[in-house]
């Protein structure tokens, strides 16, 4: 286990123990449709999630964040199709497996017991005819049949405490809870089997800001106890700057920057990351002027040539509209795809 030290914008050194890789995406590409009319929603994504790490994934609407989450967990609905790549999962004490090659039975186990997923609007997937208690304890029973009923009930109470709901609400039916409470129950349910990886796609947007922060800080504490990894997808970079260890920024289906969150917050390398940060009020430290990003996200059916951000980039220069910059190491622990941080090929 490696200890990494990063300093945040308020000068506080964060010490994090970063474990071995738990999930590795290699060249992952996802399309909607096939043939010439296919939309390339995710392109050649390389991303590693380490044990015990919170990795934030941010980008404007349509940049491919949810497609990535659905693709890597094989939850894509047609016409979505994984067009290439590998998703390597390192189960504790076992050989690594490619999630894209698992049988249906192996996949069911992987999805619940190894990886838990909370999607936006997940609250609507609670069963309306069963009490919350039954739904939580049934999940535990289905995957851990040897547990005793009293133990399962204790765990259900713990999960309710985790998401800040009084445990007498275990006796409620879903319709007796507010939308925010139902969403919190789903987050608790995702944690029920103590998974290795938790994928959260905008899981807290239905909640108020105070509740979002409370749930996230509880998850961080729990993460320290159980050492699971989190892939947290959101529009809200200020939330990530506070809770994520590392942030990956997506634009037009590709990762354009991946940096420790404190570094990204202090000095974003990619002009798009800088623009995204300028779209949110600063959480602490110096006030930033809110600038936003001019123009609109690219049309996936007619992507700009070269760097796909060039039509909107205030720093675009000669090679940008012609050659696409690859994601390369710009500083220790920092990868960026931008010609400002690399040398374009020159012809002899």
The C-alpha R_g of the chain, in whole angstroms, comes to: 21
Q: Considering the complex, what minimum distance in angstroms separates the CB of residue 302 from ligand SF4?
A: 17
How far apart (Å, rounded) are the C-alpha atoms in residues 140 and 124? 20
Closer by beta carbon to ligand ATP, 59 or else 260: 59
Q: Considering the complex, what minimum distance in angstroms separates the CB of residue 47 from ligand SF4?
A: 19
Helix (H) or strand (E) holding 185: helix 179-190
Residue with tokens 């996802």: 30
Q: Is the Cβ–Cβ distance between 45 and 24 less than 8 Å?
A: no
In the chain, helix, strand, coil percent, each to 5? 35, 25, 40
Q: Considering the complex, what minimum distance in angstroms separates the CB of residue 341 from ligand SF4?
A: 8
Which residue, 139, 138, 210, is CA-closest to 180? 210
Closer by beta carbon to ligand ATP, 74 or else 235: 235
Q: Considering the complex, what minimum distance in angstroms separates the CB of residue 275 from ligand SF4?
A: 10
Closer by beta carbon to ligand ATP, 227 or else 236: 236
Which residue, 301, 308, 220, 272, is CA-closest to 14? 220
Residues of this chain that bind ligand ATP (CB under 6 A)? 32, 39, 41, 59, 61-67, 79, 235, 300
> How many other CB atoms sit within 10 Å of the CB of residue 321?
14
Q: Is the Cβ–Cβ distance between 102 and 40 less than 8 Å?
A: no
Q: Does 66 bind Mg ion (CB under 5 A)?
A: yes
**What is the number of alpha carbons within 13 Å of residue 341 lying toward its C-beta?**
18
Closer by beta carbon to ligand SF4, 246 or else 254: 254
Q: Considering the complex, what minimum distance in angstroms separates the CB of residue 196 from ligand ATP?
A: 23
Residues of this chain that bind ligand SF4 (CB under 6 A)? 270-271, 307, 309-310, 313, 315-316, 320, 325, 338-340
Closer by beta carbon to ligand ATP, 16 or else 235: 235
Q: Considering the complex, what minimum distance in angstroms separates the CB of residue 61 from ligand SF4?
A: 19
Which of ligand SF4, ligand ATP, Mg ion, none has residue 315 at its interface (CB below 5 to 8 Å by kind)? ligand SF4
Q: Considering the complex, what minimum distance in angstroms separates the CB of residue 27 from ligand SF4?
A: 21
Q: Which stretch binds Mg ion (CB under 5 A): 5-13, 57-65, 83-91, 333-341?
A: 57-65
Q: Is the Cβ–Cβ distance between 213 and 159 less than 8 Å?
A: no
Interacting residues of 333 by C-beta distance below 8 A, sequence separation 6+ = 4, 246, 259, 260, 263
Q: Does 183 bind Mg ion (CB under 5 A)?
A: no
Q: Does 67 bind Mg ion (CB under 5 A)?
A: no
Which of Mg ion, ligand SF4, ligand ATP, none has residue 278 at its interface (CB below 5 to 8 Å by kind)? none
Q: Which residues bind Mg ion (CB under 5 A)?
A: 65-66
């Amino acid at each position: 286990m490696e200890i990494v030290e990063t300093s945040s914008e308020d000068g506080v050194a964060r010490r994090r123990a970063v474990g071995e890789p738990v999930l590795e995406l290699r060249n992952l590409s996802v399309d909607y449709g096939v043939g010439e009319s296919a939309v390339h929603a995710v392109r050649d994504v390389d991303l590693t999630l380490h044990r015990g790490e919170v990795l934030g994934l941010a980008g404007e609407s349509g940049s491919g964040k949810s497609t990535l989450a659905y693709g890597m967990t094989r939850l894509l609905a047609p016409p979505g199709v994984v067009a290439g790549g590998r998703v390597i999962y390192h189960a504790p004490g076992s050989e690594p497996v490619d999630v894209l090659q698992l049988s249906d039975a192996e996949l069911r186990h992987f999805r619940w017991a190894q990886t838990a997923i909370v999607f936006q609007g997940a609250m609507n997937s609670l069963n309306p005819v069963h009490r919350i208690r039954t739904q939580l304890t049934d999940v535990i029973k289905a995957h851990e049949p040897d547990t005793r009923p009293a133990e399962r009930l204790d765990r259900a109470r713990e999960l309710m405490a985790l998401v800040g709901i009084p445990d007498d609400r275990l006796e409620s039916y879903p319709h007796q809870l507010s939308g925010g409470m139902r969403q919190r129950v789903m987050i608790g349910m995702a944690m029920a089997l103590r998974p290795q990886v938790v994928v959260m796609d905008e899981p807290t947007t239905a909640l108020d800001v105070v509740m979002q922060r409370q749930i996230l800080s509880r998850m961080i504490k729990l993460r320290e106890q159980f050492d699971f990894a989190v892939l947290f997808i959101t529009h809200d970079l200020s939330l990530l700057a506070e809770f994520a260890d590392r942030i990956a920024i997506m634009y037009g289906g590709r990762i354009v920057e991946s940096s420790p969150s404190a570094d990204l917050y202090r000095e974003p390398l990619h002009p798009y990351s800088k623009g995204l940060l300028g779209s949110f009020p600063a959480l602490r430290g110096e006030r930033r002027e809110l600038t936003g990003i001019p123009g609109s996200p690219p049309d996936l059916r007619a992507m700009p040539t070269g760097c796909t951000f060039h039509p909107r980039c205030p720093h675009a220069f000669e090679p940008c509209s012609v050659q696409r910059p690859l994601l390369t190491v710009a500083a220790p622990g920092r990868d960026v795809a931008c010609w400002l941080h690399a040398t374009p090929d020159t012809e002899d």
